[in-house]
């Protein structure tokens, strides 16, 4: 791994959603159990990976983008292991790929990022993580804490670094 790839991955990792504190959720009127909170956090990680991967695909040439994605994938896996895994037992990679494919369809259809966030909230509701009445609070939380703009700003700097 060369240093510029690691530096780019580090910059993106700085936007990673490390935790979801109960106090922050309470500010949105959400009183979730620990497994629910972990599932909301997991969805934030999946959303974060989606926005990072989308940005890399459009901003950075293929080889550097692939290397940066690989480094990030290892870091996320290390995070998962050091924090006891995710709140569910299903195949995480298959779920991530399925959601990313669905979200690609949403964005390629011309929808705004909020449509992807809304879909993520629907997935949490379908899984039984949240109740229908909590949808708006979770969506507001995602709007505030899924760092789409911050990821975009970092990607602008990375794009300049790897410009052809």
Residue range 13-29: average pLDDT?
93
pTM to 2 decimal places:
0.90
Cα 11-91-31 angle, rounded to 5 deg:
70
DSSP conformation letters of 23-72: HHHHHTT----HHHHHHHHHHHHHHHHHHHHHHHHHHS-HHHHHHHHHHH
With 50 as the cut, is the pLDDT of residue 1 above it? no
Question: Each residue of 113-141: b (16+ CB within 10 Å) or e?
Answer: beebbbbbbebbbeeebbeeebeebbbbb
* Chain centroid, CA 42 distance in Å: 8
pLDDT of residue 2: 53
- Over the stretch 54-99, which tens digit does the pLDDT of each residue have? 999 999 999 999 999 999 988 888 887 776 665 555 566 787 889 9
Q: What is the mean pLDDT of the chain?
A: 90
Take residue 38 and report the two structure tokens written for it: 């972990």
- Over the stretch 108-124, which tens digit does the pLDDT of each residue have? 999 999 999 999 999 99
- Please state, in angstroms and as integers, the Cα–Cα distance from residue 88 to each residue in 40, 92, 95, 140, following that order: 11, 9, 11, 24
Residue 24 banded pLDDT, cuts 50, 70, 90: very high
- Over the stretch 133-148, which tens digit does the pLDDT of each residue have? 999 999 999 999 999 9
Provide, rounded to the nearest whole percent, the portion of the chain with pLDDT above 90: 75
Q: What is the DSSP letter of 100?
A: H
Take residue 102 and report the two structure tokens written for it: 């669905």
Residues 6+ apart with CB under 8 A from 53: 69, 100
Q: Are 75 and 13 in contact (CB under 8 A)?
A: yes
Residues 6+ apart with CB under 8 A from 56: 65, 68, 69, 155, 158
Domain residue spans in the chain? 3-161
Place of tokens 């993580």: 129
């Amino acid at each position: 791994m060369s240093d510029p790839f690691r530096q780019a991955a580090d910059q993106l990792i700085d936007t990673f959603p490390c935790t979801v504190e109960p106090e922050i959720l309470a500010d949105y009127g959400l009183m979730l159990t620990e497994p629910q909170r972990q599932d909301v956090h997991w969805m934030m990680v999946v959303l974060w990976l989606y926005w990072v991967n989308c940005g890399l695909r459009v901003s950075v040439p293929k080889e550097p983008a692939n290397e940066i994605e690989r480094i990030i994938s290892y870091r996320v896996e290390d995070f998962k292991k050091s924090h006891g895994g995710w709140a569910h037992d299903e195949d995480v990679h298959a779920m991530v790929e399925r959601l990313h494919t669905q979200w690609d369809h949403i964005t390629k259809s011309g929808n705004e990022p909020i449509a992807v966030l809304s879909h993520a909230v629907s997935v949490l509701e379908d899984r039984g993580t949240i109740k229908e009445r909590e949808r708006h609070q979770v969506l507001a939380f995602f709007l505030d804490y899924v760092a789409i703009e911050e990821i975009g700003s970092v990607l602008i700097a990375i794009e300049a670094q790897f410009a052809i």
